[in-house]
Amino acid sequence: MTDETPIASKPRPRSYAHAPRLAADGGKVELRSLFSGTGPVMLEIGPGRGRFALELLAARPDWSVLALEIRKKLAFNLDERMRERGCSPRARCFAEDAREALPRLIGDGTVSAAAIHFPDPWWKKRHAKRMVVGDELVNELARLVAKGGTVLVQTDVIERAEAYFPRFAEHPEFASKGAPYVEESPFVPARSNREAMAITDGLPVYRMVFERR
């Protein structure tokens, strides 16, 4: 490639418009129809680069994973990596805003566990509307997670942990399994990218575990 290369033939940044979506028409989707497996289902919200999902799939070969990632490039890359590792269609990552996608999933009580690792990297007041962990999301998790199922929420920001905890702990369908934080994730050896980095850097990780009543 030289400065004389015509603009039209220069590689353009990929738009990732082809990142997988839950359904082309934006309609409702039967959650179980997304996978071939019949085993337990992990729902991961905001997987980022996807280390947790990939490690969980390796550690628990009977589990399926449904990951919802708002950034198209990250969703595309994780879905590809799941496929390359032979985990598709046991596992999929879709380019979706979890707040909009969860109400479209049919299958109350079909999720065995849900994980939200280090969400909401928004610090400006005007970005508050982007926050993923809100009352509507918690209500959707209460609908989708099976009785006795586990929800893990973890962050390294204490103010965030203090805001998330009561949303779940005071919800009639969830009971806290910590006081309020637990030492270790119930899904080790699977770790998210941010979680692994926090451990390496010696940062505190506030882990909250809730059981669906």
Interface residues with ligand SAM (CB under 6 A) are: 45-48, 68-71, 74, 97-99, 117-119, 121, 132, 192-195
The CB-of-38 to ligand SAM minimum distance in angstroms stands at 26
Separation of alpha carbons 164 and 208, rounded Å: 9
Identity of the residue, 87 or 137, whose beta carbon is nearer to ligand SAM in the bound complex: 137
Residue 172: burial class (beta carbons within 10 Å; 0-12, 13-18, 19+) = exposed
Whether residue 120 lies in the annotated active site: yes
Identity of the residue, 28 or 127, whose beta carbon is nearer to ligand SAM in the bound complex: 127
Query: CB neighbours of 115 closer than 8 A, spacing ≥ 6?
Result: 42, 43, 44, 45, 52, 151, 152, 153, 187, 192
The CB-of-97 to ligand SAM minimum distance in angstroms stands at 4
The CB-of-119 to ligand SAM minimum distance in angstroms stands at 5
- Residue 10: both structure tokens together: 């220069």
Identity of the residue, 65 or 68, whose beta carbon is nearer to ligand SAM in the bound complex: 68
